Structure 1
């Protein structure tokens, strides 16, 4: 971050068009690993309670997002160029600009994508496939 505590980037809202590069990245990381994110006892319990009063869907989305972040960190090298392209599309920056970001800013950007409400909503919907 710069001296004014403003981020060096701004991410637009995720749209349907963003699903395709996300799937490309997921396939390079390994779909089985992502599927495992939805099979934990914690996620199954949250999904089972999703229709009940007091269900915490934000917690479900965040739980899955954290698991996915861990998988991404492990396998990030295999999809470096795809991630640069995806972040460039979300931020309006070039791939070269993304590649030259300080490490902390780069990972902050990835985390900000995971924290986006649209990202959590997407994975909440996808998790219903594994009920």
Structure 2
């Protein structure tokens, strides 16, 4: 069974902040973004020089996507390691996002629940949320 999740909205911010706070990921989050900033693979564009070729732009875009996936994978791993701290909040959030009762979310089979977690972490709005937090650090 695949549960459809609605798009994240502004009111979800408070739930997400509570979950992030319980996960205690600030240090890891800062480290991930410092590694991305310090990466030698990303060279800032100097617009006084020649325009980048399509191949150079494609390579840079691929590198940005790779670093983004690495950051999200690290955050997902941290979330799974802290699952006990955030279980109730996550189940409540999933219930809200799917318009299902919390007890139905808690009763999901392992495959369906894991799929729900993965689909949640793939949400583009979640990436926007973490980018917003990163800009505050």
TM class, shorter-length: 0.7 to 0.9
* Root mean square deviation, CA, Å: 2.5
Distance of 1:50 and 1:86 partners within structure 2: 39
Q: Is 1:121 aligned to residue 115 of structure 2?
A: no
Distance of 2:29 and 2:42 partners within structure 1: 20
Q: Is 1:102 aligned to residue 104 of structure 2?
A: no
Q: Max radius of gyration: which structure?
A: 2
Unpaired stretches in structure 1, ≥5 consecutive residues: 2-6
Distance of 1:97 and 1:116 partners within structure 2: 21
Task: Identify the residue that residue 20 of structure 1 maps to in structure 2.
Answer: 14
- Equivalent positions of 1:42-81 (< 5 A) are 43-45=36-38, 49=42, 52=45, 54=57, 55-56=60-61, 57-81=64-88
8 Å contact kept, 2:30–2:134:
no
Distance of 2:10 and 2:91 partners within structure 1: 19
8 Å contact kept, 2:25–2:78:
no
Unpaired stretches in structure 2, ≥5 consecutive residues: 46-51
Which structure has more RCO (C-alpha within 8 Å, separation ≥ 6)?
Answer: 2
Relative to the length of structure 2, the TM-score reads: 0.74
Aligned residues: 122
